[in-house]
Each structure stands twice: as structure tokens, then as C-alpha cells.
């Protein structure tokens, strides 16, 4: 989208110089030309493609976490994206207006008021815990990033719910604990399993209570 905008500015400047006219004249006349209208049309098409991309990702997601990324350097953002890729998840930055359109289309109305300021979105496809967990751990190291709100199992989760989600074991950790329990007495295995189920039920119950309130 920025690329198309840059072309528009370049085109107008060149046309102004060729006609020996000032920018004020261009603002009145140039934007009405067929060429610029085509550029605007292309820009709209690109935005629509991005909205469709966002909608597709959100529709397939097990969890979507909204993140305030203020203060994050380019190097830190690159490292964070790497951690997400390795975990089979995604960390993306989209315009709030485009995310708003995608979320509104999916019926995620409760999260719409939070689409203000510098937002990134953490998306988990297989494990709903992974995005919140990665962000929480990275925030401790970098002393940056803020977990805001999210969508888990297509339901809105507030900041407290997202924090609770980040404290749950990931799928890999849960499997490791269960396998470890298999080598322990039966009571040890049951305690491991019940403890994690209890935590997950707590988060899901909190989501249901918020939804029904």
C-alpha cells in the first residue's frame, strides 16, 4: 500500500514539473486524471486482499492476541518473529483499520474498541496457549510489549484472561508432563493431568462468564 502511495506522489511531482505548475494546481487537477484513478483503484484492491488475508488467518486461528509493541526495536521484532515461526505461530503487524474490517466480518465485535494505537497481533493455529506464552516470556526479557486482549476459541478474552492463558503449559510442555507421569505412580500421572485440565477449564469458564454477562 505504501508502494502505491509513493508512486502516486512521484507521478504527481513529475507531472507538475512537466507542466511548470505548482502543487496547488496539481491538487485541483491531477487527482481527477484517469491515471491517478487507476492507482487509487489498485490501492483499494491491495487493501481488500490484505483484509481477506487477515480474515483467513483469524478464521483458522485457535487464539488471537492483541499486543502493544511500543518500544520494540527492529532487531527485537525480528527475533520475536523468529520465535513465533519456530513455534508454528505468527506475529504480524497490520493497520488497525484493516484488522477492524476483518474482525467485524467475523463477528469479533468485543475486541474492536481495542484496535487503537500501535498494535501487533500474535496468532496461534494449533496451540492456543503458544502466542500469549511467547509474548509474556519475551516481555520479561526485553521489558517491552503488553498483552492487551484476545480471542480464544472464537470468544473474547480480556487482559486478565490472556495473562492466565500465558501461564498455562504449552502443548509440548503438557505432553512432556504427561509422558513423565507415565513413568511415575498412577497418582502422579493423574495429578499432572488434572492440574492442567483445571487451569484450562478456569480460563474457558472465565471466557463464558464474560460472554454471558
Question: pLDDT for 93-112, tens place per residue?
Answer: 999 999 999 999 999 999 99
Alpha-helical runs (H) found in 61-95 = 74-86
Q: Specify the range with the lowest mean pLDDT, choosing from 52-56, 107-111, 176-180, 185-189.
A: 185-189
Tell me, what's the pLDDT at 168? 83
Residue whose entry in the numeric block shows the C-alpha cell 502543487:
23
Nearest 5°: CA angle at 35, between 30 and 41? 110
Domain locations in the chain as residue ranges = 2-46, 47-212
Q: 176, 170 in Cβ contact below 8 A? A: no
Q: Is the dihedral of CA 121, 134, 180, 199 positive or negative?
A: negative
The mean predicted confidence, pLDDT, of the chain is: 76
Per-residue pLDDT tens digits for 148-184:
999 998 999 999 999 988 888 766 655 555 555 445 4
What's the pLDDT at 8?
56
Of 3.40.50.20, 2.60.120.260, 3.30.70.1730, 3.40.640.10, which CATH number belongs to 47-212?
A: 3.30.70.1730
Predicted local confidence at residue 167, as pLDDT = 87
Report the distance separating Cα 163 and Cα 6, nearest Å: 41
- Which pLDDT score, from 0 to 100, does residue 141 have? 84
| pLDDT tens for each residue of 1-18 | 444 455 555 555 655 555
What are the counts of helices (DSSP H) followed by strands (DSSP E) for the chain? 9, 5
Amino acid at each position: 500500500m505504501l508502494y502505491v502511495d509513493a508512486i502516486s506522489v512521484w507521478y504527481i511531482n513529475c507531472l507538475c514539473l512537466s507542466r511548470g505548475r505548482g502543487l496547488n494546481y496539481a491538487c485541483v487537477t491531477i487527482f481527477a486524471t484517469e491515471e491517478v484513478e487507476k492507482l487509487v483503484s489498485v490501492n483499494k484492491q491491495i487493501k481488500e486482499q490484505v483484509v481477506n488475508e487477515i480474515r483467513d488467518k483469524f478464521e483458522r486461528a485457535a487464539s488471537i492476541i492483541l499486543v502493544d509493541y511500543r518500544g520494540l526495536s527492529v532487531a527485537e521484532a525480528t527475533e520475536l518473529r523468529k520465535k513465533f515461526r519456530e513455534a508454528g505461530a505468527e506475529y504480524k503487524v497490520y493497520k488497525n483499520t484493516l484488522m477492524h474490517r476483518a474482525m467485524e466480518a467475523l463477528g469479533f465485535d468485543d475486541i474492536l474498541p481495542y484496535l487503537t494505537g500501535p498494535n501487533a497481533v500474535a496468532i496461534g493455529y494449533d496451540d492456543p496457549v503458544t502466542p500469549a506464552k511467547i509474548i509474556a516470556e519475551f516481555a520479561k526479557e526485553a521489558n517491552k510489549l503488553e498483552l492487551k486482549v484476545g480471542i480464544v476459541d472464537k470468544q473474547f478474552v480480556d487482559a486478565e484472561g490472556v495473562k492466565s492463558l500465558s501461564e498455562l503449559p504449552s502443548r509440548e510442555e503438557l505432553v512432556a508432563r504427561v509422558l513423565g507421569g507415565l513413568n511415575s505412580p498412577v497418582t502422579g500421572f493423574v495429578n499432572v493431568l488434572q492440574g492442567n485440565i483445571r487451569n484450562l477449564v478456569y480460563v474457558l469458564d472465565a471466557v463464558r462468564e464474560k460472554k454471558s454477562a
